[in-house]
Chain A
């Protein structure tokens, strides 16, 4: 087995408070890895870092052998479009301004000079703004990871409350042709067929999670447990390679938790990889193949559940003994 996710010397601090301080571990492909630790150990920050939602201050995360930051970086085509578009905005603004000045200038020479100045200034500001906009854009590109098969859920469920449960699921799959406006308008037959398939897939997923009875209910009206399931379903609809689950069974009733665990194990056997943050020790011990214990922003130990259970340092960390 090979590592699908390698975390090395990961560091992140918020305004002087160090949340993750040089964590290093990896996640084996086709395994279930549990990520545990006492409160404030930096689990959630780590989670946000490896799902691309935070940018690390230092260290690397490699997914499938490639660095996360590279995966999330825009391609050269995107850069071109971006720079071009932003430059155009400010170039044209500058042009308009220059044109206005030229129109008012008493002497033609003044006008010409103004056009030149305006264009020049516009281009300069345009270039700067393009750089800014591009940088700002780069930081919020975790969506690139989902496209590569690295998907996550949220600790506090983030259901799309105004949409039905089924719509929540139908949103997830990648490369839907109907997400392109031209297809949505002009190739409606093809889009409709695709939608029919999606509909069936979503219904199947809802049945699997046993929440099909609320398929057409607005997600905002679902109970806490149902939302958890919906969120899991949504992420599975992505057909990911590596699924990061943030407390997947919190608030789910025991019977369903059992089912969920079964389901996750089955999926693992089918080749999916899971990384789970969970407070329920019993769940994590039963489910995980490997467990990573974090404390004070660092990895404390990594190993199979039996080993973790016996490890004195883990017990100390949980009891607050240094």
Chain B
């Protein structure tokens, strides 16, 4: 008999949900914190990203653009040219937002580079990105890249065309909220004006060859964990057409499990000690986490022995997941890593943190806060694009409300985290986990209540601590 799906499965799903929420929440928190816009349009930026990717992934289904399509998923030379132009324009546009033509000439690099070098490098990068997108047509990665560069240029426009104007008028926060709500309306229904009411979906080559056979990474895989008298077993199964194939079986004796855990915790402690007091990219906590994770992964691979599934396990539980979902978590973690590096190790990141602490002081200290703000919007747009395109793939239907449904959990995550990037990541995972675990654990709570659960968490936290969990005064 197959093990039942239990709480660990809900937690795994929560991790996936939390990853997508946090990708959106990072941008939301950055904008909220540094540009001081509680951006209600952020959810619709995700939607915009999801729809933008269609231009590459399924050009035949995009109104107006479909005249250049030679088939549902193929474009002619003109179509490819337009995609190329849009990609390059996206890259150059993002750079342009950093300070106009001077930025294109390299003024934002922080080093004195001749204008021609700056222009040349930017142009080369733009052409490279454009070529990558066109070469990858109509694959999913190309679509993702396209959405990212496009939103990196479009989203800052909302700042320079709308929010900055209102900020310069000195409107109060409440008014900014209303403005962003209006922007949400404009973005959402502009998308619908072009795309109409049809539900879209991406087409993705979902089977990849792995170790000599093809694996469908969207198909659900089952991971059964069993604890029996002699140790822990994990088996990976795939069910297709009523037939269950065992893909992988890993068995660990008790001794191995204990040894792994001990070594992992020892490495964690050592890592923490080693980096304690350091404010570099890899701080104490990150060092501890990375170290122990590496030990677990390597040790798990080395020590695994093929095992039979115990017939009478003490405890067993089943995780239902797919490589896609695991991949989403990985992509999210990788993006967070990138952002972490940017914030900790670059001059730009330092400027961002200084602006976040105190905008006036940062300005006095000679930081170009306007550029910092544009960087924030560019990052927000890029992260939103990734979140939107992942979400569109995961849900396999792209509707106009795609991002709005996620807006409320994102806000919950951001406020839980006290409006800071790191807080938002933590808060998003809390919200994601709470959503999935509550749906699983509370009988009769249907999936419709996902978003309300996020809010109940937020409400409870605000009642107890009106500034959020990590917020100070």
Q: A residues near B, CB below 8 A?
A: 15, 100-101, 103-105, 110, 114, 125, 129, 132-133, 136
Interchain CB contact under 8 A, A136 and B444: no
Report Cα–Cα, A38/B445, bound state, in Å. 63
Contact residues in A for B466 (Cβ distance below 8 Å): 136
Q: Does any Cβ of A come within 8 Å of B277's Cβ?
A: no
Can you list 20 A-B pairs with a CB-CB distance of less than 8 A?
Answer: A15-B473, A100-B444, A101-B442, A101-B443, A101-B444, A101-B445, A104-B443, A104-B444, A104-B446, A105-B443, A105-B444, A110-B443, A114-B443, A114-B444, A125-B460, A129-B463, A132-B463, A132-B464, A133-B463, A136-B466
In the bound complex, residues from chain B placing their C-beta under 8 Å from that of A114 are 443-444
Kindly report which residue of chain B lies nearest to residue A129, judged by CB atoms. B463
| Least distance between B290 CB and chain A CB atoms (Å) | 33
B442 CB contacts on chain A under 8 angstroms: 101
B456 to chain A, nearest CB (A): 9
Within 8 A of A (CB), among B425-473: 442-446, 460, 463-464, 466, 473
Does more than half of chain A's interface fall in helix, strand or loop, or is it mixed?
A: helix
| B463 contact set on A, CB distance < 8 A | 129, 132-133
Among all A-B residue pairs, the 10 with the closest Cβ atoms = A104-B444, A101-B444, A129-B463, A132-B463, A105-B444, A132-B464, A101-B443, A105-B443, A110-B443, A100-B444
**Nearest CB of chain B from residue A131's CB, rounded to whole Å:** 10
Residues of the B chain whose Cβ atoms lie less than 8 Å from the Cβ of A110? 443
What CA separation (Å) do A110 and B442 show in the bound complex? 12
Chain B residue contacts of A132, Cβ below 8 A: 463-464
Closest to A93 in B: B456
CB distance from B467 to the nearest CB of A (A): 12
User: Which chain A residues lie closer than 8 Å to B444 at the CB level?
Assistant: 100-101, 103-105, 114
How far apart are the CA atoms of A132 and B464 in the complex, in Å? 7
Min CB distance, A33 to chain B, in Å? 32
Residues of A contacting B460 in the complex (Cβ-Cβ under 8 angstroms): 125
- Complex Cα distance A101/B460, Å? 20
Q: Which residues of A contact B446 (CB under 8 A)?
A: 104
Task: Given A104-B444, A105-B443, A136-B466, output 18 extra A-B contacts at Cβ < 8 Å.
Answer: A15-B473, A100-B444, A101-B442, A101-B443, A101-B444, A101-B445, A103-B444, A104-B443, A104-B446, A105-B444, A110-B443, A114-B443, A114-B444, A125-B460, A129-B463, A132-B463, A132-B464, A133-B463
> From B472, which residue of chain A is reached at the shortest CB distance?
A15
Q: How far is the CB of A173 from chain B (nearest CB, A)?
A: 29
| B445 / chain A contacts, CB cutoff of 8 Å | 101
Residue of chain B at shortest CB distance from A14: B473
Q: Which residue of B lies closest to A110 (CB)?
A: B443
With both chains docked as a complex, state the minimum distance between the C-beta of A256 and any C-beta of chain B, in angstroms. Answer: 31
Interface centre among B443, B444, B464, B466 (most CB of A within 10 A): B444
- Smallest distance from the beta carbon of A21 to chain B beta carbons, Å? 20
- Distance in angstroms from B62 CB to nearest chain A CB is 42
C-alpha gap A190/B444 in the complex (Å): 56
Considering the chains assembled together, what is the distance between the CA atoms of A252 and B20 in angstroms? 58
Contacts of B443 in A (CB 8 A): 101, 104-105, 110, 114
Q: How far is the CA of A129 from the CA of B463 in the complex (A)?
A: 7
Closest A residue to B444 by CB, please name it. Answer: A104
Q: In the bound complex, how far is the Cα of B446 from the Cα of A136, in angstroms?
A: 35
Measured CB to CB, the closest approach of chain B to A83, in angstroms, equals: 15
Give the CA-CA distance A110 to B443 in the complex, in Å: 9
CA gap between A136 and B466 in the complex, in Å: 10
Closest approach, in angstroms, between the C-beta of A15 and any C-beta of chain B? 7
Q: Which residues of A contact B473 (CB under 8 A)?
A: 15
Considering residues B445, B463, B464, which has the most beta carbons from chain A within 10 angstroms of its beta carbon? Answer: B463
A241 nearest CB across to chain B (Å): 34
Whole-angstrom distance between the Cβ of A254 and the nearest chain B Cβ? 33
Which residues on the B side are within 8 Å of A125 (C-beta)?
460
Q: Which of B407-436 contact A (CB under 8 A)?
A: none
Q: Cβ of A100: which chain B residues have Cβ within 8 Å of it?
A: 444
How far, in angstroms, from A15 to B464 measured CA to CA in the complex?
21
With A and B bound together, what is the CA distance between A129 and B466 in angstroms? Answer: 12
B116 to chain A, nearest CB (A): 51
Q: How many Å lie between the Cα of A100 and that of B473 in the bound state?
A: 38
Min C-beta distance of A213 to chain B, whole Å: 29
Contacts of A101 in B (CB 8 A): 442-445
Report the Cα distance A227→B21, complex, angstroms.
49
How far is A104 from B449 in the complex, measured between Cα atoms in Å?
14
Interface flags, B151-173, vs A, CB<8A=1, else 0: 00000000000000000000000
In the complex the two chains form, what is the Cα distance from A125 to B473 in whole Å? 25
Instruction: Using CB atoms, name the residue of chain B closest to A15.
Output: B473
Could you say which residues of chain B place their CB within 8 Å of the CB of A133?
463
Q: Which residues of B contact A136 (CB under 8 A)?
A: 466
Closest to B446 in A: A104
Q: Which residues of B contact A104 (CB under 8 A)?
A: 443-444, 446
CA distance A252 to B442 in the complex (A): 66
B447: min CB distance to chain A, Å: 13
**A72 CA to B457 CA in the complex, in Å?**
32
Q: Report the bound CA distance from A104 to B460 in whole Å.
A: 25
* Closest CB in chain B relative to A134 CB, distance in Å: 12
- In the bound complex, CA of A103 to CA of B446 (Å): 12
Q: Which single residue of chain B is at the shortest CB-CB distance from A133?
A: B463
Q: What is the CA–CA distance of A129 and B444 in the complex, to the nearest angstrom?
A: 26
Bound-state Cα–Cα, A247 to B144, Å: 61
Closest chain B residue to A105 by CB distance?
B444
Chain B residue numbers with a CB within 8 Å of A15 are 473
Report Cα–Cα, A129/B460, bound state, in Å.
9
The distance in angstroms between the C-alpha atoms of A7 and B94, with both chains bound, is 60
Q: Tell me the smallest distance from the CB of A140 to a CB of chain B, in Å.
A: 12
Q: Which residue of B443, B446, B464 has the most chain A CB atoms within 10 A of its CB atom?
A: B443
B449 and chain A: residue at smallest CB distance: A100
**Closest residue to B465 on the A side, CB-wise?**
A132
Q: When chains A and B are docked, how far (Å) is the Cα of A100 from the Cα of B446?
A: 11
User: Measured between C-beta atoms, what is the minimum distance from B453 to chain A in Å?
Assistant: 11
Give A306 Cβ to nearest chain B Cβ, in Å: 43
Closest CB in chain A relative to B94 CB, distance in Å: 39
Return A133 CB to nearest CB of chain B, in Å.
7
Whole-angstrom distance between the Cβ of A193 and the nearest chain B Cβ: 37
Cα–Cα, bound, A15→B472 (Å): 10
Min CB–CB distance A265 → chain B (angstroms): 41
